[in-house]
Amino acid sequence: MAETTAKEGKKQLDEGLERGMAALTEEKIEKVINRVLTGETGARLQAYVETCIHCGLCDLVCPDYCLTWGDGEEGGKFERELMGVDYRYCKGCLRCVESCPTGALAKEKETPGLADRLRVPLFPGLIP
């Protein structure tokens, strides 16, 4: 990459950058992109509904409206209960984890396919 300095009016080259860019090929770029998309993982929200007290604090702080709620058991303690998370909508901000008083929502390491396995649809029957 050539750069002109204001004082000298000369072009300066960043030799390291130039060498690195010259070594890039479409195959190398594609290999890195595929590795990132398929292999590298980050943090993901995990819901442990068995320990949830269904207080709704998580739902109040969630900017993505990705928490799935359902009717509680008839005659049970709760009218509405947290069923899980629809990971198609969750962006991973983890505000719900910070607000959960019982630790029923936690940050877990995401592995390939985890979100699809654990997803509870937000609109069952409407959106597959």
Residues 110 and 55 both lie in one domain: yes
The predicted pLDDT at position 125 comes to 79
Spatial separation of the C-alpha atoms in residues 17 and 24, rounded to whole Å: 11
Residue 125 lies in a domain: no
CATH no. for residue 60? Answer: 3.30.70.3270
Residue 97 lies in a domain: yes
Count of domains for the chain: 2
Question: Do 70 and 123 touch, CB atoms closer than 8 A?
Answer: no
Residues 60 and 34 both lie in one domain: no
Residues 58 and 114 both lie in one domain: yes
Residues 47 and 79 both lie in one domain: yes
Residues 10 and 66 both lie in one domain: no
Spatial separation of the C-alpha atoms in residues 111 and 95, rounded to whole Å: 21
The predicted pLDDT at position 80 comes to 92
Query: Each residue's pLDDT tens digit in the chain (128 positions)?
Result: 455 555 556 666 788 778 877 888 888 888 877 776 666 566 778 889 899 999 999 999 999 999 999 998 898 889 999 999 998 888 889 999 999 999 999 988 777 777 777 788 888 877 76
The predicted pLDDT at position 98 comes to 94
**Dihedral (Cα; 90, 96, 98, 99), 10-degree rounding:** 170
